[in-house]
Amino acid sequence: MMTEFKEVLTPEQQQEAQGLIFVKVEKRMNKRLEKLSWKLDLTDEQEANLKTQLEAKLVGIKARVEAGDIPKMADRESMLKEFDAQMQSMLSAEQLSEWNELKEKRIQHIAKHDSHKHRF
C-alpha cells in the first residue's frame, strides 16, 4: 500500500500521510496500554515500564519508515515475540496467566477472521 501512496502523492503529502498514520498508531498503542493495564491489573511501575518500552519501539519503527525501510510481516512477528518476552519478564504469575489467556483469545480471533477472507 505504501508503494501505491508513493506513486500518487507528492513528497509533502507522503510526509503528512505518514504523520497521520503515526498519530493513529500512537492512539491505538495508548488505548491498548490502558486495556492491558486494566485487564492485567498492572501496577503503576509496570504500566510506566510498558509505556516506555512501547514508545521506544514506536520511535524505532517511525525512524525505519522515514528511512524508507517499511517493516515486513517477519519483522512484525519478531517484534511480537520480543514484546511477549518483555511481558513475561515483568508480570507476576497471576498476571502472566491472564496474559497467556488474552494472547490465546487474540490468536483465535485472528484465525476466525482470516478464515472468512477466503470465502466466496
Which is more confident, 116 or 61? Answer: 61
Answer whether residue 44 is part of any domain: yes
As a whole number, mean pLDDT of residues 113-117 equals 65
Q: Please report whether residue 2 resides in a domain.
A: no
* 108 in a structural domain: yes
Q: How far is CA 106 from CA 19, 20, 31, 84, 103, in A?
A: 28, 26, 16, 13, 5
> What is this structure's pTM?
0.71
For residue 106, what pLDDT is reported? 85
In a domain? residue 6: no
Contacts (Cβ under 8 Å, ≥6 apart) of 96: 87, 88
Query: pLDDT tens-digit profile of 58-78?
Result: 888 888 777 777 777 778 888
Evaluate whether residue 4 is within a structural domain: no
Q: Is residue 21 part of a domain?
A: yes
Domain that holds residue 34: 12-117
- Domain total of the chain: 1
Classify residue 3: in a domain, yes or no: no
